[in-house]
Amino acid sequence: MNPLSILTDVLPPKVRSIVYAVLALAALAFSVWQATEGDWVEFVGGLLTALVGSTAAANTPKEG
């Protein structure tokens, strides 16, 4: 068992997709907040993290 795939074993694909999307939005909100504080390095890191999360949400397989 892959310890990194715990969400795959516990949550159905539709719920995982929602979790990934919420985490991506949270990362995006955090990166925007960092940009308003003037920390552009943290902004870029948060933006990349948000993009990875949205990729995970888009690549979650459909049930059935």
In a domain, 6, yes or no: no
Count up the domains in the chain and report the number: 1
Q: How many CB atoms lie within 10 A of CB 53?
A: 20
What are the CA-CA distances from residue 51 to residues 1, 2, 29, 47, 57 (Å)?
A: 27, 23, 12, 6, 10
User: Does the pLDDT of residue 51 top 70, yes or no?
Assistant: yes
| Residue-wise pLDDT tens digits, 3-36 | 656 767 777 888 888 888 888 888 889 888 988 9
56 Cβ neighbours under 8 A, 6+ residues apart: 20, 24
List the domain range (segments joined by +) for residue 40. Answer: 11-58
In a domain, 63, yes or no: no
